[in-house]
Amino acid sequence: QKEVEQNSGPLSVPEGAIASLNCTYSDRGSQSFFWYRQYSGKSPELIMSIYSNGDKEDGRFTAQLNKASQYVSLLIRDSQPSDSATYLCAVTGAGSYQLTFGKGTKLSVIP
């Protein structure tokens, strides 16, 4: 059974701070890793994808992947109230497009 674990939160950070979201996965064969943002009542929005070990930066977002530790994280710099949402970690296995989601971490950025 493939599992993706996330701290459900809520995670509260002050505006302007760095928010750090973490995720672990059980399937060592996982190949692709994603972070989605989902606002209440809306569908998920892809914000980061990462496929190899290391860091990947896109604007205020940095994804970090460590396959040896089966760990993926998302850093949000200069957090804004508009970043308040549920962040979903998702992975796909070898030869599959099907996403396995974590239950999501609810982030609140306090003005």
Q: Is 104 in the site for another protein (CB under 8 A)?
A: yes
Looking only at the bridges linking them, the beta strands covering 105-110 and 11-14 are parallel
Stretch that binds another protein, among 11-19, 20-28, 30-38, 70-78 (CB under 8 A): 30-38
Q: Name the residue with tokens 């974590």.
A: 102
Choose which of 3, 45, 55, 78 interacts with another protein (CB under 8 A): 45
Q: What residue type is 28 in one-letter code? A: R
Q: Does 105 interact with another protein (rule: CB under 8 A)?
A: no
108 contacts another protein (rule: CB under 8 A): no
Nearer to another protein by Cβ, of 74 and 79: the residue is 74
Q: Which two tokens stand for residue 18?
A: 């760095």
Q: Smallest Cα–Cα separation from 35: which of 69, 75, 82, 1?
A: 75
According to the binding rule CB under 8 A, does residue 58 interact with another protein?
Answer: no
Give min distance, CB of 49 to another protein, in A.
Answer: 5
Residue linked to tokens 């860091």: 55
Contact with another protein (CB under 8 A) among 79, 84, 92, 105: 92
Phi, psi of 83 (to 5 degrees): -80, -10
